[in-house]
Amino acid sequence: MPKLLSMGIQHIQQLCDVMGLGYMTQAPTAVAGGFHHAMWCVDTAGGRHAIKQLAADVDLGNPTVVSRYNASERTAQTFAALGVPALSAIEHDGYFLQQFDNSGYLVYPWASATARGRNQIKPGHAETVATILAEMHQANIQVPELPDELPKIITAEDTIALIEFAVSRNVHEARYLQERIDDVLAVLAALDEALPLLATHHVISHGDLDHKNVLWNDAGKPLLIDWESAMHLNPTYETLLEALDWSGITAHFDTHPFADFLASYGEAGGVLEERFVPAALDTVLAAWLHWLMYNLGRAMGLDDSRQRRLGTEQVDLALAVLLRLEKFLPRLRDIAITAANRGPHV
């Protein structure tokens, strides 16, 4: 977590001045929980706000990167206008991302709500998220600023090189990945075939609606945060991805909550398409493999012990998920196809 001095208290006061938030009534305090960026709680004469300080490795000199951040917040704003409980950054002069001295900040209204841990998710939480997801997919919003493009994927060559380098550095679990390199490459090959098919039908959606990106207030109402991954994606893929998360794929997985999530999605009018199910599940596997590879690189970082620790933790998490998916994949495919054949219930 960056220290306050590294964020620049002058930047915070500039943000407050430029955006009309009022003067700070006390020093900003760090908010725990971010995997990449830093979050700060800032009290001003105009109220309390959350400020996201983008990580130093975000290339703000790249216009595409800057545009992408603004487009993702525009997506959240558009959904919020339709009644989706989406939290978007505060817009100023047509922009959400504010920059000072090559540092980027997003300012949000403060939300008195918290995310549920993996072991705190109840059936009602999953049902609520499934319903919201169905509503978002049916809305089929348009955000011209958001690029419509296939996601960039790691190549087989880069994957092999990364694993070999991780082995040379004795990174946790790297040798196991090397032993299973044929299976790793098979996942990437399946993804190459899956993506063009999934791209034949897509909508704009959140892209990362797992349990850490949904906050819940004391009344049990949800709030969708962290829209950085907003994109055009196939709704069947996103639904299966999030059904797995909300049914415990990262903790204690059970196929019954997975089936219940898909049923709730259908009851809210969401449409799963059988023709996309195999490709969608292949892409779910690849998404977790990509997260594993990203964190394998993170675990080799030389300069930041916190990032190395987080990387190692996430390597363990992602590998455990991939092994569970490998075990349950045939059953998941059957459940998803059954749900698709049942169709929407409204």
Same-domain status, 78 and 189 = no
- Residue 12 domain boundaries: 4-110
Look at residue 86 and give its three-state secondary structure. Answer: strand
Based on the fold, state whether residues 218 and 295 are members of the same structural domain. Answer: yes
**How far is the C-alpha of 232 from the C-alpha of 234, rounded, in Å?**
7
Domain count within the chain = 2
- What does the alpha-carbon distance between residue 58 and residue 70 come to, in Å, rounded to a whole number? 14
- Between residues 305 and 296, which one has the greater pLDDT? 296
- CATH number of the domain to which 43 belongs: 3.30.200.20
Read off the pLDDT of each residue in 84-108 and give the average, rounded to a whole number: 93
| pLDDT(82) > 70 | yes
Are 218 and 86 found together in one domain? no
Q: Which of the listed residues 56, 85, 110 is the one where a domain comes to its end?
A: 110
Q: State percent of the chain over pLDDT 70.
A: 96
What integer best gives the mean pLDDT of the chain?
Answer: 92
Q: Are residues 104 and 131 in the same domain?
A: no
Residue 328 CA neighbour count, 13 Å, CB half: 23
**Residues 265 and 134: beta-carbon distance below 8 Å:** yes
Segment 64-83 mean pLDDT = 97
What digits encode the pLDDT tens for the residues 43-62? 999 899 999 999 888 999 99
pLDDT category at 3 given cuts 50, 70, 90 is: very low
Indicate if 89 and 128 belong to the same structural domain. Answer: no
Same domain? For 184 and 304 the reply is yes
User: What value does the mean pLDDT take over residues 223-249?
Assistant: 97
> What is the pLDDT, as a whole number, of residue 318?
96
* 39 and 150 part of one domain: no
* Amino acid symbol at 90: I
Do 104 and 176 have their domain in common? no
**Domain CATH code at residue 237:** 3.90.1200.10
105 and 124 in a single domain? The answer is no
Give the number of other CB atoms < 10 A from CB of residue 60.
15
Other beta carbons less than 10 A from residue 209's beta carbon? 24
| C-alpha span between 164 and 159 (Å, rounded) | 9
Q: Which residues partner with 10 through β-bridges?
A: none
Residue type, 331: R
Give yes or no: residues 133 and 78 share one domain.
Answer: no
pLDDT tens digits, residue range 254-279? 999 999 999 999 999 999 999 999 99
Residue-level pLDDT at 294: 92
Q: Are 235 and 203 in contact (CB under 8 A)?
A: yes
Residue 218 confidence (pLDDT) above 90: yes
Pick the last residue of a domain from 48, 79, 110.
110
pLDDT at 9: 72
Mean pLDDT of 125-146: 96
**CB contact at 8 A, 40 and 103:** no
> Based on the domain organization, do 58 and 145 belong to the same domain?
no
Region 195-212 average pLDDT: 96
| Sign of the alpha-carbon dihedral angle for 247, 251, 253, 256 | negative
Single-letter amino acid code for the residue at 168: S
pLDDT tens for each residue of 12-22: 888 888 899 98
Distance CA 247, CA 285 (A): 16
**In the listed set 110, 140, 172, which residue is the last one of a domain according to the structure?**
110
pLDDT of 303 above 80: no
Whether residue 88 is found in the same domain as residue 179: no
Q: How many CB atoms neighbour CB 344 within 10 A?
A: 14
d(CA 96, CA 228): 12
Please tell me the predicted confidence (pLDDT) of residue 8.
60
